C-alpha cells in the first residue's frame, strides 16, 4: 500500500481540528472528562474530544488508505494488543495521538496537538504534528525534510552555550531510574518548564527554543511523529546507548535533542 498524499492527510487533520477539537476547547463540562489511569501516570485523563477525534480520523484515514490499520492512543488503551501492529511485520500502520497534551486541553491551555505517523516495518516514513489552537502545522517525510506552515524547518545552527536548556520527564519514570536521571543531570543544565505535551516539546526543540528533553515511557503515538520531524529538521532522537529512536522501542531512556552533540553530552551525564 502506497502512502497517501501528505497534503490530503494534512487537510484531514486540519478538518478534525476545526470541526471536532477547537469547538470544544475551553468548552468542556465535567462529564466530558474521565479518569484514565495508565502506566506511569495514575492521574491520566481522557476527554470526549480525544475519543471523537480518534474516531473521526480513523474513519477518514481509512478512506485514504483502505486496509491500513490505525493504532490510536485511545484504541490501544482499550486493546493493548494493537501495539503488535507497530512492533511486528512490515506492513504499514497509522499511529495516532488524537490529542496529545490532554491535561492541558482539559484545563484550557493551548499546549496540545494532534500527532500522526505512517510507520512501515518499524520505521516512520511520514509524520504530522498539528497544534490547532496555535495554528501551527509541521509535516515531515523521511529523506525529504520537515516543514512548518509550509516553510522548511531547520534547527537553528547557532552554537548553543552551556548550560543547555532542557526538561527531564522523571515523573513518568519508574524508580530507581527517575532518581538516577535526576541526580546525574543535577547542576548540568538549566531547567525550563515542562510542556507536558510531546507535540510541543518536539516542535520547540526543532525551533531552537529548548535544547533537549529526556523521556523513558515511549508510546509510539507520543514519539514516532516528533522523532521523524526533529531528525529531518537536523536534530537527534537517541536511546541511551546512542542507537536511533525506533517506534518499536518501549520504556528506555531516550534523549530528544537539537543536535547530536547535545544528545551525546546529555547521554554522557546520565550514563555515568
Q: Indicate the average pLDDT of the chain.
A: 96
- CATH code given to domain 164-271: 3.40.190.80
Kindly state the cell numbers that stand for 192: 525550563
Model pTM?
0.97
Which pLDDT score, from 0 to 100, does residue 87 have? 97
Average pLDDT on 69-83 reads 97
* 238 in Cβ contact with 244 (< 8 Å): yes
For the chain, where do the domains classified as CATH 3.40.190.80 start and end? 164-271
For the chain, where do the domains classified as CATH 3.30.540.10 start and end? 6-153
Check residue 175 and give left, alpha or beta (phi > 0: left; psi -120 to 50: alpha).
beta
Residue positions counted in the chain: 272
Which pLDDT score, from 0 to 100, does residue 174 have? 94
pLDDT in tens, 31-72: 999 999 887 788 999 999 999 999 999 999 999 999 999 999
- Return the closest-CA partner of residue 190 out of 163, 224, 213: 163
The span from the CA of 250 to the CA of 74, in Å, is: 18
* 111 in Cβ contact with 101 (< 8 Å): yes
Residue 18 DSSP one-character state: I
The span from the CA of 119 to the CA of 110, in Å, is: 28
Fold of 6-153: Fructose-1,6-Bisphosphatase; Chain A, domain 1 (3.30.540)
The span from the CA of 18 to the CA of 143, in Å, is: 30
What angle (nearest 5°) sits at the alpha carbon of residue 217, between those of residues 216 and 219?
135
Amino acid at each position: 500500500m502506497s502512502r497517501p498524499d501528505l497534503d490530503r492527510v494534512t487537510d484531514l487533520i486540519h478538518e478534525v481540528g476545526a470541526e471536532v477539537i477547537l469547538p470544544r476547547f475551553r468548552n468542556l463540562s465535567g462529564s466530558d472528562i474521565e479518569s484514565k489511569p495508565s502506566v506511569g501516570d495514575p492521574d491520566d485523563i481522557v476527554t470526549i474530544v480525544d475519543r471523537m477525534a480518534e474516531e473521526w480520523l480513523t474513519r477518514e484515514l481509512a478512506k485514504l488508505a483502505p486496509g491500513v490499520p490505525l493504532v490510536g492512543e485511545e484504541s490501544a488503551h482499550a486493546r493493548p494488543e494493537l501495539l503488535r501492529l507497530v512492533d511486528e511485520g512490515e506492513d504499514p500502520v497509522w499511529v495516532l495521538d488524537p490529542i496529545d497534551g490532554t491535561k492541558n486541553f482539559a484545563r484550557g491551555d493551548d499546549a496540545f496537538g494532534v500527532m500522526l505517523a505512517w510507520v512501515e516495518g518499524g520505521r516512520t516514513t511520514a509524520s504530522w504534528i498539528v497544534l490547532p489552537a496555535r495554528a501551527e502545522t509541521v509535516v515531515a517525510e523521511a529523506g525529504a525534510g520537515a516543514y512548518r506552515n509550509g516553510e522548511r524547518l531547520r534547527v537553528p545552527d547557532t552554537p548553543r552555550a552551556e548550560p543547555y536548556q532542557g526538561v527531564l520527564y522523571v515523573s513518568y519514570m519508574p524508580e530507581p531510574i527517575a532518581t538516577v536521571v535526576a541526580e546525574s543531570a543535577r547542576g548540568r543544565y538549566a531547567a525550563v518548564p515542562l510542556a507536558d505535551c510531546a507535540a510541543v516539546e518536539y516542535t520547540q526543540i526543532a525551533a531552537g527554543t529548548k535544547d533537549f528533553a529526556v523521556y523513558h515511557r515511549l508510546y509510539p503515538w507520543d514519539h514516532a511523529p516528533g522523532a521523524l520531524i526533529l531528525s529531518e529538521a537536523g536534530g537527534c532522537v537517541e536511546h541511551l546507548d546512542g542507537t536511533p529512536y525506533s517506534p518499536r522501542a518501549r520504556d528506555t531512556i531516550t534523549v530528544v535533542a537539537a543536535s547530536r552533540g547535545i544528545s551525546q553530552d546529555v547521554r554522557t551525564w546520565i550514563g555515568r
